[in-house]
Chain A
Amino acid sequence: MTRTRLLEAVLPPVVAMGLAAVLGDLLILSFGESPGAVWALLVKGTWGNAYGIGQVLYKATTLTCTGLAFALAGRAGLFNVGAEGQLAAGGFGAAVTGLLLPASLPAVIAVPLCLLSAMFVGGAVGAVPGALRARFGASEVIVTIMLNFIVLALLNWIVSAKLHLPETLRTPDIAAGNVPRLADAFAMFRGSAVNFTIVFAVAAALVAWWYLFRTRSGYELRAVGLQPEAAEYGGVKVPRVLLLSMALSGALAGLGGVNFVLGYKGYYEEGFAGGAGFLGIAVALVGRNHPFGILAAALLFATLSQGGLAVNAVVPKQLTDILTAAVILSVATAVPEVQKQLRAAAASVTASLTRQRNAQGAST
């Protein structure tokens, strides 16, 4: 049983990556370059040195957060397509708190305060579609998409009207609450953007796993996602869970905003969230909505993203963007097919087990 489940989790991404590799070869050839050389360059620019690894880890940090955000809502049967806005809002919340706090505040207080604000603001943005879904049955897919536009426009207005440094699209530097770079502790990562937010992201993954699979609330949340009416029958207050899961999901996405704002730049900048929200869907999909799978998938997509830059001088960066989309499409396509096959196999095994037992029961 566990084996089929693991197969179900692993098979689609593997198939997808095979397909993506072939597609990638074709695209590279179309540009008159040699696939081998380009792939080598991609690997060298990502996992080939500590800096590249650091960059991959940096990008994976944000993607882990948005991936977890999508997965958590997904486990409750909801599609949070609004991670983009929640991520931006979270980063903005962290920045505002960081700006308001006195510079003298020790990091042990300032950092958690900023983290909490990020999660709170992201969570608040996530709670809106959650509440509308719980109260009115409004499609969270549509509401989150629409809310992305609204939130981004709102943040843009606040920053451009109230908060920006002259001639720029960013807030002033944040005095308190900055998260140290990983390079401060491990010199080899010098220069790369990776920072201790990654620890929070991994911790978030662990907590999410524990929460989903080891707590009563997680049990109820997953039940709502699988069969809301059964959950209701089981004493679960379904609207409350819908709201809760969207708020938690938004909070996780909001946490991702810290990576850029407090960990990397030290200020909020318009447009920093670009793309990371939607990539979170890909991460959750390839990670099969499982926190550990998401950690792995985040690394994969971070590698593709960073790799796109590494090969940029030779082929357009859009190469890896196309591959990313191809991976999503093929995983999304493979999942139901693999599920169907495995489910059929499992059903026949169970049926034969039942029959065996029945036969035994009859003979004794």
Chain B
Amino acid sequence: MMLLAFILQAIRIAVPYLLAAAGGVMSERVGVIALGLEGLMLSGAFGAALGSYYGNSPWAGLLGALVAGTLITSLLAIATIRFRANQVVVGVAINLLVAASTRYFLRLVFDSSSNSPRVPGFGGEGVSNVMLSSFMNPVVWIGLAALPALGWLLYRTPFGLRARAVGEKPEAAATLGVAVNPMRLKGLYLAGALASLGGAYLALDQHQFTDGMTAGRGFIALAAVIFGRWEPVRVAVACLLFAGAETLQIQLQGAQLVPSQFVEMIPYVLTIIALAGVVGRSVAPAALGKSE
């Protein structure tokens, strides 16, 4: 029973990681560094709150998240693909931009600097089987399916083969009539959609947008992408691993065996270790970050 509760909680915690990391894999596989995941998630969360507020339905919230994510992705795409701006810088800028503008529009729309009003979301009240209730949230299922589906897409479909080619050697793809920039664009929009759904999960699960509510989850997702070596299934395992560590900390409640600071470090430390090649060499897509 404890174990089941543990697993279910780890899955719930993993959902935003899984979605954002799927976006990260997609983005990096077509050659665009996914530093903007945090911003994309946050924009998705805000879009979800707006959509749900005005559309009075969580589905409208999902739509809102996709619209917001697409908007931010467009910025990212124009800067990195059309103008070949440096991807690291653009990623950082996108994060700043979303953090600032969600708060600005929070003030403008809801006259608050930290919270939106309560909006319709997924999950009812006083549900009898609490442990399973969150699984009535469709986003959870999307999250669980995202990376396996992405694996299928990347390794089994023409789109995936082309995406991988574009991320490894764009010139080669171009000579075979695979248009590089449109491929990248498609990859990025898919990535943006996935990451913003990760944010939407947070907002719709909370029935509310809170300023900065992604709280670094985009970076944990990025860590998972690298720790999982850009392979969807491995990345999914990494997400579950990181979520498991977090769950462990939550479940151990106050039994402060290890200071919480050290538990928080786990994903980051593991990623650095992975990068140092201690758990097997981590090789990024060859054209990652190169815009020509």
Contact = CB atoms under 8 A, between A and B. Distances in A.
A pairs with B:
yes
Given A146-B272, A318-B100, A31 B108 contact: yes
A332 B96 contact: no
Contact of A161 (B83, B108, B216, B259): B259
Given A153-B265, A322-B97, A333-B79, A316 B277 contact: no
B113 A316 contact: yes
Contacts of B101: 318, 322, 325
A89 interface: no
Interface stretch (A40-48, A137-145, A229-237, A353-361): A137-145
A138 B282 CA distance: 8
A27 B260 CA distance: 41
B275 A136 contact: yes
Contacts, number: 131
Contacts of B265: 149-150, 153-154
B88 A81 contact: yes
Contacts of B79: 329, 332-333
B111 to A, nearest CB: 11
The listed residue with most A CB atoms (<10 A of its CB), out of B104, B262, B291, is: B104
Nearest to B225: A142
A328 to B, nearest CB: 4
A72 B35 CA distance: 21
Contacts of A136: 275-277
A316 B96 CA distance: 15
A149 B107 contact: no
Interface in B275-292: 275-277, 284, 291
Nearest to B104: A318
B276 A321 contact: no
Contacts of B261: 153-154, 156-157
Contacts of B85: 329, 332-333, 335-336
Interface in A1-39: 27, 30-31
Interface in B69-102: 75, 78-79, 83-86, 88-90, 92-97, 99-101
Interface residues of A, number: 43
Given A146-B272, A153-B264, A318-B100, A79 B88 contact: yes
B97 to A, nearest CB: 4
A142 B92 contact: no
Given A79-B88, A324-B96, A139 B275 contact: yes
A325 B96 contact: yes
B284 A139 contact: yes
Contacts of A139: 226, 275, 284
Nearest to B220: A149
A141 B275 contact: no
Contacts of A110: none
Nearest to A336: B84
A338 to B, nearest CB: 10
Interface string B198-237: 0000000000000000001001001100100000000000
Contact of A325 (B83, B93, B277): B93
A191 to B, nearest CB: 27
A31 B265 CA distance: 40
Contacts of B191: none
B255 to A, nearest CB: 17
Interface in A291-308: none
Contacts of A79: 88
B43 interface: no
A132 B35 contact: no
Given A142-B222, A316-B103, A333-B83, A132 B276 contact: yes
A132 B272 contact: yes
B49 interface: no
A335 B276 CA distance: 33
Interface of B: 33, 35, 75, 78-79, 83-86, 88-90, 92-97, 99-101, 103-104, 107-108, 113, 216, 219, 222-223, 226, 259, 261-262, 264-265, 268-269, 271-272, 275-277, 284, 291
Top-10 shortest CB links A-B: A321-B100, A325-B97, A138-B275, A146-B268, A157-B261, A328-B93, A318-B104, A332-B85, A325-B96, A153-B261
30 contacts: A30-B108, A132-B275, A136-B276, A141-B35, A142-B272, A146-B269, A149-B216, A150-B265, A150-B269, A153-B262, A153-B264, A278-B95, A281-B89, A321-B96, A321-B100, A321-B103, A321-B104, A322-B97, A322-B100, A328-B89, A328-B93, A328-B96, A329-B75, A329-B97, A332-B93, A333-B79, A333-B85, A333-B90, A335-B85, A336-B291
Given A150-B269, A321-B96, 9 more contacts: A138-B272, A142-B222, A142-B226, A142-B271, A143-B275, A145-B35, A146-B268, A149-B268, A325-B96
